[in-house]
Amino acid sequence: MQRSGEFELIARCFTPIARDSAASLGLSDDAAIFSQSPGKSSVVTCDALVADVHFRAVDTPETIARKVLRVNLSDIAAMGAQPTGVVLACGYNRDLPEDWIVAFARAFGDDCAHWGVELYGGDTVSTNGPSFFSLTAIGEVVAKHALRRDAAKPGDVVAVTGTLGDAALGLAILQNRLALAQQHLSAFLTDRYLLPQPRLQTGMQASALGRRIAAMDISDGLAGDIRKIAEASNVGVILDQAAIPLSAAARAAVNQDETCWQQIMTGGDDYELLLCGPVDDIARLGNDVTVIGTVTDTPGEILMTSLDGKMAELAKGGFDHFSTS
Amino acid sequence: MQRSGEFELIARCFTPIARDSAASLGLSDDAAIFSQSPGKSSVVTCDALVADVHFRAVDTPETIARKVLRVNLSDIAAMGAQPTGVVLACGYNRDLPEDWIVAFARAFGDDCAHWGVELYGGDTVSTNGPSFFSLTAIGEVVAKHALRRDAAKPGDVVAVTGTLGDAALGLAILQNRLALAQQHLSAFLTDRYLLPQPRLQTGMQASALGRRIAAMDISDGLAGDIRKIAEASNVGVILDQAAIPLSAAARAAVNQDETCWQQIMTGGDDYELLLCGPVDDIARLGNDVTVIGTVTDTPGEILMTSLDGKMAELAKGGFDHFSTS
């Protein structure tokens, strides 16, 4: 297959995206140059996605492009920061047709515009193996108001944005491990898997309060991720299963098959925010935030009161890319 | 094969490297936080390297780790900036033994310390295909003194650091396309291929002059890269082949086989700096910088006076990752 050279691909597909970024220097220099706003610090995060590990190779280029951007913006949101720019390394499988790359780049550029982030730069390479995308996102925050994982304290409430488990159930539907009778509920869940919604607004709102709030995004499942915030803060947590917010579609799934709770608790890809803080501060974040538990003074102990009212240790089970078990 | 999980690998291999970086937050948060020095702006660059495209899969983990870091530091050098921190995404082939990863991480950490850069964060994933590494490097520079590609003007001299062609000849030796009788010359050339030396000192020195100097690093070969600086600056260039600085080893290679000039002119991986500026300013950069040509007012015309005194257009031929020709 004949595909355009690296430089032509960049000029054709990515330079137009960077046109609105003075920092990018038109993608024609060795590096981009950006300046922080007065009083702000920069946050920087990186997530790499590999075909058939983090997305399905059969997914559309548009879907993959948005996911690559959004999972990183979710980490920016989890710091309470405003995203400013991104640097994208693309490793295209050498058999991917050029049309695929063009569609990917166009969707990526549109989504950058949608979220108000500039394309600072990147790299474009070819691989014999699965395509991969590595994105570094940069944002700004008042450093002392960044939402860190280690800020939770006993007596805080534990809260989450949105609803949990939708993405894991959506993936189960796409993989024919789950079927719902109502098509619109299925579509809602698969959409939640394919198109993460980074909670930038809530993150920035929490940071703007200027209060002690711990946060992270739930990318590997509630059961595993709650443990990370507990360990970083040296506290314990008691969750209330009945309080976990479910969408109508997820509710239909657990009504049909209660083992769906397993996916809701341990499935990844929700990209909702997990927040810990004083109840009054959390309450100021609005109706999209639901209290699901409390922080205790027993380091590392993660308990959950289940639907039948019994309290038990919550197993880890967070998705881990390398584990073979 | 059983390998540790992602979180264990990061904790074991990369958290120790990040210990000296306050910005990294111990790699245990969603993002790193860094602040620019007063009066400075940030530069950011990204290069992705794929096994058997940008390095040989048989190379040692230590060699690959240093190369991943250094090719990016070279881009920071080409902006005249001081590197401050890096973000590393690793995509390990799933059959790589854990010992390989441990050795890679240790060498990467040592080289970060050597160059005085912090590990801000990153990502660790697994792939069925060739291993890949995507590094984003961040540095600082006084924005108006950044060395940009578009700053060359007619009448400037063209200059380079160090010697050219060594890396391409070293690769030819490793691939058994070239053999030199003297072992120490061969070793010099292969070392130049395996271990790039980012020209940070010269870059920062050029920026500190506070004068108009254009720069880029030579990663794709002089013939292709000189064209990029000429196009960005809308100028032409006349190079003098006789002035191109060669190492003793490269000199031995061309004496043995004059077609080695082809590799010297078009081979990549030198990571020397290509500079254009007023002759007096360039002279202040010291003995390691050699004038090899002049900038003309004929946009896009790249000429070279060859060893026999004839002047001709210099063919492009810069290495391009995708071209099949």
DSSP string of B231-300, one letter each residue:
HHHT-EEEEEGGGS---HHHHHHHHH-TTHHHHHHH-----EEEEEE-HHHHHTT-TTEEEEEEEESSTT
Higher pLDDT, residue B5 or B246: B246
Side-chain half-sphere CA neighbours of B47 within 13 A: 25
Rounded mean pLDDT of B294-318?
Answer: 89
Which of B92, B107, B142 lies at the terminal end of a domain, its last residue?
A: B142
pLDDT bin (cut points 50, 70, 90) of residue B318 is very low
Same domain, A160 and A307: yes
Q: Out of A34, A41, A322, name the one closest to residue B9 (CB).
A: A322
Distance from CA of B272 to the nearest CA of A (A): 13
Instruction: Give the percent of chain A with pLDDT over 90.
Output: 86
pLDDT of residue B2: 59
Annotated ligand binding at B54? The verdict is yes
Same domain, A118 and A30: yes
Q: DSSP label at B58?
A: T
Could B36 and A32 be called an inter-chain contact, meaning their C-beta atoms sit closer than 8 Å? Answer: no
Could B78 and A127 be called an inter-chain contact, meaning their C-beta atoms sit closer than 8 Å? Answer: no
Contacts A45 to B, Cβ<8 Å = 30-32, 87, 121
Torsion of CA A266, A267, A271, A276, to 10 degrees: -10
Q: Out of A34, A136, A143, name the one closest to residue B33 (CB).
A: A143
Annotated ligand binding at B247? The verdict is no
pLDDT over 90 (residue A236): yes
Mutant choice from B15, B25, B28, B46 vs A, greatest count of A C-beta within 10 A: B46
Distance between CA atoms of A214 and B276, rounded to whole angstroms? 50
The answer as to whether A319 is a domain residue is: no
Could A87 and B46 be called an inter-chain contact, meaning their C-beta atoms sit closer than 8 Å? Answer: yes
Same domain, B121 and B247: no
Annotated ligand binding at B290? The verdict is no
Annotated ligand binding at A54? The verdict is yes
Mutant choice from A1, A30, A92 vs B, greatest count of B C-beta within 10 A: A30
Could A321 and B5 be called an inter-chain contact, meaning their C-beta atoms sit closer than 8 Å? Answer: yes
Same domain, B107 and B132: yes
ipTM at complex level: 0.92
Q: For the segment A247-266, what is each residue's pLDDT rounded down to a tens digit?
A: 999 999 999 999 999 999 99
Rounded mean pLDDT of B119-143?
Answer: 96
pLDDT over 80 (residue B209): yes
pLDDT over 50 (residue B319): no
Q: Out of B6, B33, B47, name the one closest to residue A43 (CB).
A: B33
Q: For the segment A130-184, what is each residue's pLDDT rounded down to a tens digit?
A: 999 999 999 999 999 999 999 999 999 999 999 999 999 999 999 999 999 999 9
Same domain, A21 and A103: yes
The answer as to whether B37 is a domain residue is: yes
Annotated ligand binding at B219? The verdict is yes
Distance from CA of B263 to the nearest CA of A (A): 20
Could B125 and A42 be called an inter-chain contact, meaning their C-beta atoms sit closer than 8 Å? Answer: no
pLDDT over 60 (residue B63): yes
Same domain, B165 and B269: yes
pLDDT, chain B, mean: 93
Which of A93, A112, A142 lies at the terminal end of a domain, its last residue?
A: A142
Q: DSSP label at B220?
A: S
Distance between CA atoms of A9 and A255, rounded to whole angstroms? 49
The answer as to whether B284 is a domain residue is: yes
Distance from CA of B256 to the nearest CA of A (A): 33
Dihedral sign for Cα atoms in the order A96, A99, A105, A110: negative
Distance from CA of B308 to the nearest CA of A (A): 33
pLDDT of residue B82: 98
Rounded mean pLDDT of B165-187?
Answer: 96
Q: Out of A9, A44, A79, name the one closest to residue B322 (CB).
A: A9
Instruction: Give the percent of chain B with pLDDT over 90.
Output: 86
Same domain, A162 and A308: yes
Could A6 and B136 be called an inter-chain contact, meaning their C-beta atoms sit closer than 8 Å? Answer: no
Could A136 and B320 be called an inter-chain contact, meaning their C-beta atoms sit closer than 8 Å? Answer: no
Same domain, A55 and A179: no
The answer as to whether B41 is a domain residue is: yes
Annotated ligand binding at A319? The verdict is yes
How many structural domains compose chain B?
2
Q: For the segment B244-288, what is each residue's pLDDT rounded down to a tens digit?
A: 999 999 999 999 999 999 999 999 899 999 999 999 999 999 999
Q: For the segment A70-99, what is each residue's pLDDT rounded down to a tens digit?
A: 999 999 999 999 999 999 999 999 999 999
Same domain, A286 and A226: yes
Rounded mean pLDDT of B299-308?
Answer: 94
Distance between CA atoms of B291 and B282, rounded to whole angstroms? 8
Could B323 and A5 be called an inter-chain contact, meaning their C-beta atoms sit closer than 8 Å? Answer: yes
Give the CATH number of the domain where residue B127 resides.
3.30.1330.10
Annotated ligand binding at B240? The verdict is no
Residue of A nearest to B30 (CA): A75
pLDDT bin (cut points 50, 70, 90) of residue B4 is confident
Per-position b or e across B150-168, b if 16+ CB within 10 A of its CB: ebbeeebbbbbbbbbbbbb
Mutant choice from A10, A29, A231 vs B, greatest count of B C-beta within 10 A: A29
Could B30 and A79 be called an inter-chain contact, meaning their C-beta atoms sit closer than 8 Å? Answer: yes
Contacts A85 to B, Cβ<8 Å = 44
Contacts B151 to A, Cβ<8 Å = none
DSSP H helices in chain B: 6-9, 15-18, 61-78, 98-115, 166-174, 183-194, 200-208, 222-233, 248-256, 260-266, 279-283
Contacts B34 to A, Cβ<8 Å = 41-42, 44
Mutant choice from A46, A74, A102 vs B, greatest count of B C-beta within 10 A: A46
Neighbours of A168 (CB within 10 A): 26
pLDDT of residue B57: 86
Mutant choice from B1, B30, B93 vs A, greatest count of A C-beta within 10 A: B30
Annotated ligand binding at A95? The verdict is no
The answer as to whether A150 is a domain residue is: no
Contacts B5 to A, Cβ<8 Å = 320-323
Residue of B nearest to A144 (CA): B33
Could B127 and A130 be called an inter-chain contact, meaning their C-beta atoms sit closer than 8 Å? Answer: yes
pLDDT bin (cut points 50, 70, 90) of residue A317 is low
Same domain, A124 and A162: no
pLDDT of residue A321: 40
The number of C-beta contacts closer than 8 angstroms across A and B is 232
Q: Take residue A27 and report the two structure tokens written for it.
A: 């993608």
pLDDT of residue A57: 86
Distance from CA of A320 to the nearest CA of B (A): 6
Could A30 and B79 be called an inter-chain contact, meaning their C-beta atoms sit closer than 8 Å? Answer: yes
Number of residues assigned to chain A: 325
Phi and psi at B300, nearest 5°, equal 80, -5
Residue of A nearest to B43 (CA): A33
Rounded mean pLDDT of A261-289?
Answer: 96
pLDDT of residue A318: 42
Q: What is the CA radius of gyration of chain A?
A: 20
pLDDT of residue A85: 97
Mutant choice from A94, A136, A219, A233 vs B, greatest count of B C-beta within 10 A: A136
Domain extent, residue B198, equals: 156-313
pLDDT, chain A, mean: 93
Same domain, A111 and A251: no
The answer as to whether B306 is a domain residue is: yes
Same domain, A282 and A184: yes
Give the CATH number of the domain where residue A245 resides.
3.90.650.10
pLDDT bin (cut points 50, 70, 90) of residue A274 is very high
Short-list A39, A47, A229, CA closest to A143 = A39
Distance from CA of A66 to the nearest CA of B (A): 19
| Stretch among A227-231, B13-17, B167-171 having the lowest mean pLDDT | B13-17
The answer as to whether A325 is a domain residue is: no
Q: What is the CA radius of gyration of chain B?
A: 20
Could B46 and A78 be called an inter-chain contact, meaning their C-beta atoms sit closer than 8 Å? Answer: no
Rounded mean pLDDT of B312-323?
Answer: 61
Q: For the segment A190-214, what is each residue's pLDDT rounded down to a tens digit?
A: 999 999 999 999 999 999 999 999 9
Q: Out of A7, A121, A150, name the one closest to residue B45 (CB).
A: A121
pLDDT bin (cut points 50, 70, 90) of residue A2 is low
Which of A142, A172, A195 lies at the terminal end of a domain, its last residue?
A: A142
The answer as to whether A242 is a domain residue is: yes
Annotated ligand binding at B45? The verdict is yes
